[in-house]
Amino acid sequence: MDLLIIYAIYLVVSLTLNLEAGYSGIPNFGKAMFVAGGAAVAGSVSGRLSAFIVGISYSGDYSNSAPIIINRLNAALSLNPILSVEILLLGILLAAGIGAALGYLASYPAIRLREDYLGMLLLASAQFFQIFLRSYPPVIGGVQGIEIPDFFGWANTGPGARDVVILGVVTLFAASVYIYFERIARSPLGRTLRAIRDNEVASRALGKDDVAIRKRVIIVASAISGMAGALLTFYVESVGPDTWSRQDWTFPFWVIIILGGAANNSGVAVGAFTYAFILKTTDRAKFLLQGILPSTTFNYLQYLTFASLLVLVLALRPEGIFPEKPSLTLKRQTVAAIIETNANGLEQKPDSSAKENS
């Protein structure tokens, strides 16, 4: 169950990275920042807001008193599913907003800099964002992180029922993101993105506004990453700064994309599953081998495994498991039919062919 939920969240974030890096050629090495932004705002607002609405007063800052009041909050929220869902949605929306805002900020240099400079800048920004979260307690409680109430408490009717509900929510989310991105990829916009990636000058000459399109791609991708971060926060019921390291929230998505195949959404889906599967199986193995190997060593071994996997894929099969598909063209008969109808229509309405060409 845990595997599937984590898979869905990873899938969403890797799809957004795929839209940026795979289709549009924007090397986002600061993915952690956007996911963390969403998670942080969702975590920091939802807890305070629910305590305020339910009417539990606390002294001092929320992050310090959260462990004391969390049980009462959970009890109150589980009796009031509508309120829980409302706050949940609000948190996700806020996360999308902060993701989009961060994306807008990032897009400012992104459209001006070369790949290597941009990569350095985003990597450094993400690192700073993590430091900021760690050292600025009012957001998510500084080093210890923050506990947030359980907004799925109402679903906890039987053993594992909460997980089933969350799985449903994240699956719905992931599926809609997948369909949305797949539609983008197959649309004229998707071809424009690839055109910009492959040859900026040529696409500009054809009248494509590459700056505006890139900006929009970053904003949309970042907003969705933020939402994924918020969902993760609501699932694990807490958020802390140490989660959002480069090792855990930027690097894996690159592994997934490279493994599955850049600019190919179904490849990314397979890559995300492979990653989540290896991660969770090795986690299980870690648990079983506790006596033989200390668990921290195992974590480091995981890093090592994924890093070498990535380098191996880059060296031996740079296009990934599923290579990028050429964009589909219409069948010859279809084209002929369109031309024929146009030719017929042309006699009556001269403007109708303009729509087909655009």
Site of interaction with other proteins (CB under 8 A): 21, 25, 27, 29, 109, 112-113, 115-117, 119-121, 123-125, 127-128, 131-132, 135-136, 245-247, 250-251, 254-255, 258, 294, 296-297, 299-304, 306-308, 310-311, 314-315, 318
Q: CB of residue 66 vs other proteins: minimum separation in angstroms?
A: 21
Phi-psi region of 261 (alpha: psi -120 to 50; beta: other; left: phi over 0): left
Cβ proximity to other proteins: between 117 and 277 the closer is 117
Cα dist from 234 to 52, 95, 276, 308, 311, whole Å:
18, 12, 19, 32, 34
Q: CB of residue 267 vs other proteins: minimum separation in angstroms?
A: 16
Cβ proximity to other proteins: between 24 and 46 the closer is 24
Q: Locate 339 and state its tokens.
A: 């031309």
Q: Residue-wise over 168-191: b if at least 16 C-beta within 10 A, else e? A: ebbeebbeebbeebeebbeeebbe
Q: CB of residue 337 vs other proteins: minimum separation in angstroms?
A: 40
Q: CB of residue 128 vs other proteins: minimum separation in angstroms?
A: 5
Residue labelled with tokens 């290896």: 278
The rounded distance, in Å, linking the Cα atoms of 133 and 257 is 27
Cβ proximity to other proteins: between 213 and 255 the closer is 255
The rounded distance, in Å, linking the Cα atoms of 188 and 209 is 14
Cβ proximity to other proteins: between 21 and 155 the closer is 21
Cβ proximity to other proteins: between 88 and 258 the closer is 258
92, 227 contact by CB (below 8 A): yes
SS3 assignment, position 260: helix
For the beta carbon of residue 116, count every other beta carbon within 10 angstroms: 9
What sign does the CA torsion over 38, 41, 43, 45 have? negative
Q: CB of residue 247 vs other proteins: minimum separation in angstroms?
A: 5
Cβ proximity to other proteins: between 266 and 299 the closer is 299
Q: CB of residue 21 vs other proteins: minimum separation in angstroms?
A: 7
How many residues comprise the chain? 358
Cβ proximity to other proteins: between 218 and 255 the closer is 255
Q: CB of residue 162 vs other proteins: minimum separation in angstroms?
A: 33
The rounded distance, in Å, linking the Cα atoms of 334 and 168 is 39
